[in-house]
């Protein structure tokens, strides 16, 4: 969507951001008040699959959506954050919300709020619920924004819940231990509502099992009720009633096998056919999750100079995501003589944890600022921390500046560290 066509919604979003800053203030009181003023649109949505977790929420949601759509179902979806355009967050029956529709629901929600205190995420989530409630679909896949218990999306009674792998992230808001974070994520579980639990550490799994038992939420557990693994270039999905031989997911990385397993278990609970499961695995698309960039102005210019270079993009931003990248890079051994990671991180993340996971990759780290984001770590500070972990590192002023310094003809280049940086790359590369 070009800038001219989205001018109205951009103006409204800027106004909303000025009135309701992008602060994190976890509470449901403001959300309940606003939804009441809108006549409870969250209760008029199609059956909901509510997904929480630290890593893999978006991938799991997109995999499940692809399977349901392959079954012929019409699917709403709510994602956050967006990469390039806000419209990406709200998918209505398979199509991003139109400019006119977004502008309409934003204006109606702001009028209903009537100047009362509220956060930007809350008011835009309410707008999403309004859009979902007024557009027919078979399912709504609802991704949690932050945490779960007090997240603005946790105002629904879903048909099914899923919790993806939990790790340390957003400690300032969710708690500084893995179990305190798990408790926040588990807050989406409801009495009598079945839930699929992705692979977890033993400590987290035990906690979630106990929590679900107290909530009377029946669990389907990875590693107990289902397993997924690769065999002979295929994805094997083994469950209580049998075994399915499926294609590998179109999303790259070994960690996507676990995300696929969670999505498959959800799809099975919803009655999706094995044929549609297979088709969904093959057709799923989810930008900036180990996405190979093959064309576009940025990539074309680079490949004109470095004929055999590979360029990959990933928005993962915490230690677990960095470890997944390190595992993937290890699987590429021998494919390239040099690995270069072009990196930007927010100051709200732990650069030490992220870099520690990459320490054994032998990569050259190129640090840079993230455009229009005051929370980004300064490139020189990030480069110094990379060097402290034994990595080669250099600071740069821009993506273009960083890429210009890479000279290996068959370099493997990974742009990573932030969804905001990933969005910047996708916007610049077209």
Cβ atoms of residues 50 and 158 within 8 Å: yes
The pLDDT, as a whole number, for residue 426 is 94
> pLDDT tens track of the chain, all 430 residues?
455 556 677 777 887 777 665 666 678 999 999 999 999 999 999 999 999 999 999 999 999 999 999 999 999 999 998 999 999 999 999 999 999 999 999 999 999 999 898 899 999 999 999 999 999 999 999 999 988 999 999 999 999 999 999 987 655 556 679 999 999 999 999 999 999 999 999 999 999 999 999 999 999 999 999 999 999 999 999 998 899 999 999 999 999 999 999 999 999 999 999 999 999 999 999 999 999 999 999 999 998 999 889 999 999 888 889 999 999 999 886 666 789 999 999 887 778 989 999 999 999 999 999 988 888 899 999 999 999 999 999 999 999 999 999 999 989 999 999 999 999 999 999 7
Cβ neighbours of residue 133 under 8 Å, at least 6 residues apart? 41, 42, 44, 45
The pLDDT, as a whole number, for residue 9 is 78
Angle at 179 between CA 118 and CA 347, to 5 degrees: 55
- Residue ranges of the alpha helices (H) in 114-237? 120-133, 171-174, 178-186, 202-215
239: β partners: 226, 242
For residue 5, give the 3-state DSSP assignment: coil
Measured in degrees and rounded to the nearest 5, phi and psi for residue 239 equal: -140, -175
The full length of the chain comes to 430
Looking only at the bridges linking them, the beta strands covering 195-197 and 219-221 are parallel
The CA-based diameter of the chain, rounded to the nearest angstrom, is: 60
366: β partners: 342, 394
The pLDDT, as a whole number, for residue 375 is 83
Phi-psi category of residue 206: left, alpha or beta, with phi > 0 → left and psi -120 to 50 → alpha: alpha
Does this model's pTM top 0.85? yes
Cβ atoms of residues 100 and 5 within 8 Å: no
Measured in degrees and rounded to the nearest 5, phi and psi for residue 296 equal: 120, 160
Rounded distance between C-alpha atoms, residue 29 and residue 349, angstroms: 28
- DSSP-assigned letters across all residues of 70-89: HTT--EEEE-SS-SS-GGGG
Cβ atoms of residues 237 and 249 within 8 Å: no
The pLDDT, as a whole number, for residue 171 is 57
Phi-psi category of residue 247: left, alpha or beta, with phi > 0 → left and psi -120 to 50 → alpha: beta
| Residue closest to 270 by CA, chosen among 139, 128, 74 | 139
Rounded distance between C-alpha atoms, residue 117 and residue 137, angstroms: 32
**3-state helix, strand and coil shares in percent for the chain, rounded to the nearest 5:** 45, 15, 40
Rounded distance between C-alpha atoms, residue 143 and residue 284, angstroms: 17
The pLDDT, as a whole number, for residue 128 is 98
- From the DSSP assignment, how many helices (H) and strands (E) are in the chain? 16, 17
Rounded distance between C-alpha atoms, residue 375 and residue 345, angstroms: 9
Query: Which structural domains are found in the chain, ordered by start?
Result: 7-283 (3.40.1190.10), 291-429 (3.90.190.20)
Rounded distance between C-alpha atoms, residue 265 and residue 225, angstroms: 9
């Amino acid at each position: 969507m070009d800038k001219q066509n989205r001018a109205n919604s951009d103006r409204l979003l800027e106004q909303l951001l000025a009135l309701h800053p992008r602060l994190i203030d976890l509470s449901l009181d403001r959300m309940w008040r606003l939804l009441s003023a809108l006549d409870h649109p969250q209760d008029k949505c199609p059956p909901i699959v509510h997904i929480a977790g630290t890593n893999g929420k978006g991938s799991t949601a997109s995999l499940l959506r692809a399977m349901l759509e392959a079954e012929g179902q019409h699917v709403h979806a709510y994602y956050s954050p967006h990469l390039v355009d806000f419209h990406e967050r709200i998918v209505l029956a398979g199509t991003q919300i139109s400019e006119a529709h977004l502008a309409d629901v934003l204006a109606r929600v702001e009028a209903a709020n009537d100047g009362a205190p509220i956060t930007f995420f809350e008011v835009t989530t309410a707008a999403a619920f309004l859009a979902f409630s007024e557009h027919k679909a078979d399912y709504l896949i609802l991704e949690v924004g932050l945490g779960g218990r007090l997240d603005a999306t946790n105002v629904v009674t879903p048909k099914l819940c899923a919790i993806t792998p939990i790790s340390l992230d957003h400690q300032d808001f969710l708690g500084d231990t893995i179990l305190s974070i798990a408790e926040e994520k588990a807050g989406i579980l409801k009495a009598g509502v079945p839930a699929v639990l992705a692979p977890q550490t033993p400590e987290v799994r035990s906690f979630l099992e106990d929590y679900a038992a107290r909530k009377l939420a029946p669990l389907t557990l990875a590693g107990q009720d289902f397993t997924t693994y690769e065999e002979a270039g295929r994805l094997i999905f083994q469950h209580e009633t049998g075994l399915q031989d499926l294609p590998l997911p179109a999303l790259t990385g070994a960690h996507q096998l676990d995300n696929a397993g969670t999505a498959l278990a959800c799809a099975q609970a919803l009655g999706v056919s094995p044929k549609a499961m297979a088709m969904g695995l093959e057709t799923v698309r989810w930008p900036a999750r180990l996405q190979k960039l093959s064309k576009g102005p940025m990539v074309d210019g680079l490949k004109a100079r470095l004929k055999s270079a590979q360029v990959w993009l990933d928005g993962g931003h915490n230690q677990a995501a960095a470890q997944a990248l390190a595992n993937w890079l290890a699987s590429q051994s021998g494919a390239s003589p040099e690995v270069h990671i072009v990196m930007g991180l927010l100051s709200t993340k732990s650069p030490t944890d992220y870099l520690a996971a990459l320490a054994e990759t032998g990569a050259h780290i190129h640090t840079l600022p993230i455009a229009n984001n005051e929370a980004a770590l300064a490139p020189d500070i990030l480069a110094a921390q990379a060097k402290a972990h034994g990595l080669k590192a250099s600071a740069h002023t821009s993506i273009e500046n960083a890429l210009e310094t890479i000279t290996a003809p068959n370099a493997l280049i990974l742009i990573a560290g932030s969804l905001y940086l990933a969005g910047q790359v996708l916007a610049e590369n077209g």
